[in-house]
Amino acid sequence: MKLFALLLLPFLFFMSCKKEDKIVVNDILIDTVLVNNIYVPNSSSVNNVDFINIGIKIVFNNEVDTSKFVKSKLFISGGVDTAYNHRFDISRKALYISPSNSLNALASYRLVFDQGENLGGINKTLYSFVFRTRIDSTPKFPAISDEALLTLVQHQTFKYFWDYGHPVSGLARDRLGSGDIITSGGSGFGVMAILVGIERNFITREEGFERLNKIVNFLVNPQTDKFHGAFPHWLNGSTGKVVPFSTKDNGGDLVETAFLIQGLLTVKEYFKNGSLPEVSMCDSIQKIWENVEWDWYQKNEENVLYWHWSPSYSWEMNHQIGGWNEALMTYVLAASSPTHSISKQVYDNGWARNGTYPMVNNKLFYGIQLPLGSDYGGPLFFAHYSFLGLDPRNLTDQYANYWSQNVAHTQINQARCIANPKKYVGYSAECWGLTASDIQNGYSASSPTNDLGVIAPTAALSSYPYTSSESLKAMKFFYYILGDKIWGEYGFYDAFNLTSLWFADSYIAIDQGPIVCMIENHRTGLLWDLFMANNDVQLGLNKLEFSYLETE
């Protein structure tokens, strides 16, 4: 018995140790994760990952039991799940993963190493990170000539105003999905785009006139809301009644009215020598134009124009219109009015701030002198909205040469994107343009000093007259390289962010219109020539002491 007991002791000791081994469980600790040799901390993200060749390396603090790998607890969201190849290195401290199939370009994926039993121990800390794949630089559409591409972009963008125009009024809906809400300023851009459509044979002259006549008849109708002749920012396209832009912005908007009148006067010049119905439409345009009480918006004859007036809130918005921004057209038309004109003193004091900052600048940015505006120039729509009709090519006054201003503004904007101090993904000499647009979960006036990583195609494309070579490069990049993401039914979608891989699905009238119009101004000068031929406009420019020599 003693012998048996002695023989039994080692066995009992061994079994005790084995039982103890079973209840001792080591923690699984992740030391480092690398994606294509780039370190990715937990709960972080990495961009520009190669979607064709991708390797993920997970390094553990200690040796793991590779025979007990629970693959279902290590997965990649975004369509991969556990469809990946894996292996462990000889030390059993590193796990290598590569997706079984190529990933999508410009796509977002998340790797998750879930908590729980795995690799012979327990992973107590969930490890998760996002990786975003790089641009696919292969062309998405067949190559066409540069001229054909310009025409294609104009035609597709024109459809926003033609195919998506409001069915009752013909005016431009504010944005895709806005229903009855139409925009007065965007409609001014839209009627100019219709003239381009006629000249480019997208539609016939008869079709264009029919639509424009519908628009003019709707606007001239006494039932359509006007406030001392000025239109509100938004109207109901069926009833003509104001739709408040904000609580107190439920009356006249003088800047939006200026953009609308800019377009209507351009239409008048186009049709003024036409048929009797066309001339009758032009007479209605003149009536609309003469009814705008620009001088009323001086607010008790102050030497400045005010942006808003409301019958229920009076001048409570209290927003003076002063430069430098998009609203030069407001003062030009106010001075040009044959019935309610303002003096040059209102222009000098109200708009030009008597030559003080932020009207006059003249500092250097990226080696480029900026004549007017805040530092770095602001959003690029400043160089577009007033210049759809107002020809900047030889336009000067005591404050600036406006061609030099707009060229410098655009070049600085592009230079800022190339410098890319915030290191946003995708910014380059081909992918640039900061202006007001949709952003992820909102809207913002992007600029060099308010750069959120969002590029809006309208910025570079509407600057075509100023930087034709640089804008063409951007157009080709947007169309051929990003076209599968941002090209749609009405041209380029409003904006995108290659860092967060956000792509708008929206179209906005005030962004689409300048693309059609400014490209045409570069190609033929059509809208510039028409607007500048208006006698009232010439008298106004003379009053303000502008020089505007005719171009060859």
Q: How far is CA 370 from CA 326, 400, 454, in A?
A: 16, 10, 23
Kindly state the average pLDDT of the residues 525-534: 98
DSSP state of 67: G
Which residue ranges form the domains of the chain, and what is each CATH number? 26-133 (2.60.40.1220), 146-546 (1.50.10.140)
Separation between Cα atoms, residue 413 and residue 403, nearest integer Å: 15
Q: Stretch 435-450: mean pLDDT, rounded? A: 98
pLDDT of residue 26: 77
Query: Mean pLDDT, to the nearest integer, of 262-287?
Result: 98
Does residue 88 register a pLDDT over 70? yes
Report the amino acid identity of residue 512. Answer: Q
Residue 521: pLDDT band with limits 50, 70, 90: very high
439, burial (CB in 10 Å: exposed 0-12, middle 13-18, buried 19+):
buried
Segment 63-78 mean pLDDT: 96
Give the pLDDT confidence of 343-361 residue by residue, as tens digits. 999 999 999 999 999 999 9
Mean pLDDT over 535-551 rounds to 92
- 94-120 tens-digit pLDDT: 999 999 999 999 999 999 999 999 999
pTM exceeds 0.85 for this model: yes
CA-only gyration radius of the chain, Å:
31
Residue 388 DSSP symbol: T
Percent pLDDT > 70 in the chain is 95
Partners of 110 in beta bridges = 77, 130
pLDDT(20) > 90: no
Q: Number of C-alpha atoms within 13 angstroms, CB side, residue 496?
A: 20
pLDDT in tens, 301-316: 999 999 999 999 999 9
Q: How confident is residue 53, by pLDDT bands cut at 50, 70 and 90? A: very high
Residues whose CB is less than 8 angstroms from the CB of residue 33 and which lie 6 or more positions away in sequence, other chains included:
39, 40, 41, 42, 56, 57, 58, 59, 111, 127, 129
pLDDT at 46 over 50: yes
Asked if pLDDT for residue 4 goes beyond 50, the answer is no
Nearest C-alpha neighbor of 31 from the set 170, 133, 122, 127:
127
**pLDDT band with cut points at 50, 70 and 90 for residue 233:** very high
Q: What is the pLDDT of residue 550?
A: 64
DSSP string, 273-328: TS-HHHHHHHHHHHHHHHH--GGGGGTTT-SSEESEEBTTTBTTT--EE-SSSSTH
